[in-house]
Amino acid sequence: MEDLRNKVAVITGGASGFGRAFALRGAALGMKLVLADINQDALDAVVAELKAAGADVIGRRTDVSQSADVQALADAAIAAYGEVNLLFNNAGVAPGGLVWERSEQDWNWALGVNLHGVLHGVRIFTPLMLAAAAKAPSYRGHIVNTASVAGLTTAPTLGPYCVAKHAVVALSESLHHDLGLVSEQVHCSVLCPGFVATGISRSDRNLPTDDDAQVAPSRAQLAAKAMLDQGIAGSAISADDVARITFDGIRDRRFYLLPHPASMEAVGQRFDDILNLRNPTGPFAQRPQIRETLMATLRGA
């Protein structure tokens, strides 16, 4: 898709991090924007920021894990702008902890936002895009699903996140295959970044609260948050860089968007392990002291 002026973008998780950066870039390219987020105050602030800069934008509070909310988002986008050209299924949360210690509610939250949120977006918006394509040969549509390097590799203390993000990669590859059967006008990409400074390590701010069920974070959860904070602090690229790389990928119709070239090594290592029937190497092979510190923390040493 070359010229995005006056085209329409829907962005979930639009109130922070990558979502806000997609919105700023879309606005700079003259796009009309529909921002969705569960956090009303943060959403209002970004919508006001964009309007002050002259953008044509609406915001809609949406919990992407709820299909009725995503349907209402699609209805609002069509009512405001008539069609949707870009969909960023981007909202996400990163709960840490050992696989067996997170509660059923926490797993439902992680999979509800990170996987079902993307699935609702694909299920509800793809038919709208295909209908617009059938009506107008000049129509172009593109869906970007935000997964993560954690969708191509795995890491300790991040099980719910890795499970959801691997599923988002599989969902996106399936969408790519299926779209290719029916249309030349609608395409998709999967975005797999490594660490970038955003609000992601503070995801628990969006954890649905049930006062009776509140428990103090475990050692593993605290260790996972410390790892995320450290990774983010050392990030070589910004959310703006990720937005630029993503829009370039849409223009060039590239499916795999990996803004961190260094992460290719870990991806290659995982596939090598599988092809050679080796047990998973894990992300700390080159930095064993991180694993040792983690083990000591978990064992209370």
Ligand X SMILES: NC(=O)c1ccc[n+]([C@@H]2O[C@H](COP(=O)([O-])OP(=O)(O)OC[C@H]3O[C@@H](n4cnc5c(N)ncnc54)[C@H](O)[C@@H]3O)[C@@H](O)[C@H]2O)c1
Name the minimum Å distance from CB 239 to ligand X.
6
Does 106 sit near ligand X (CB under 6 A)? no
Name the minimum Å distance from CB 46 to ligand X.
9
- Quote the CA–CA distance of 296 and 301 in Å, as a whole number: 5
Does 145 sit near ligand X (CB under 6 A)? no
Show contacts with ligand X in window 176-205 (CB under 6 A).
Answer: 193, 195-196, 198-200, 203
In this structure, the dihedral spanned by the alpha carbons of residues 64, 68, 70 and 72, taken in order and rounded to 10 degrees, is -140
Using the minimum distance from each CB to ligand X, give the nearer residue, 140 or 165.
165
HSE-up of residue 116 (Cα within 13 Å, Cβ side): 15
Using the minimum distance from each CB to ligand X, give the nearer residue, 76 or 130.
76
Does 12 sit near ligand X (CB under 6 A)? yes
Binder of ligand X out of 47, 55, 70, 94 (CB under 6 A): 94
Name the minimum Å distance from CB 12 to ligand X.
6
Does 16 sit near ligand X (CB under 6 A)? yes
Name the minimum Å distance from CB 8 to ligand X.
19
Q: What angle do CA 130, 148, 55 make, to 5 degrees?
A: 55
Does 93 sit near ligand X (CB under 6 A)? yes
121 CB contacts (<8 Å, ≥6 apart)?
12, 64, 70, 87, 89, 143, 145
Total number of residues that touch ligand X (CB under 6 A): 32
Does 65 sit near ligand X (CB under 6 A)? yes
Name the minimum Å distance from CB 272 to ligand X.
22
Does 159 sit near ligand X (CB under 6 A)? no
Indicate which residues carry an active-site annotation: 161
Binding part of the chain for ligand X, among 62-70, 214-222, 268-276, 289-297 by CB under 6 A, reads 62-70
Does 15 sit near ligand X (CB under 6 A)? yes
Binding part of the chain for ligand X, among 51-59, 63-71, 100-108, 272-280 by CB under 6 A, reads 63-71
Name the minimum Å distance from CB 155 to ligand X.
12
Binder of ligand X out of 148, 153, 154, 172 (CB under 6 A): 148
Q: Which residues bind ligand X (CB under 6 A)?
A: 12-13, 15-19, 37-39, 42, 62-65, 90-94, 113, 146, 148, 193, 195-196, 198-200, 203, 206, 232
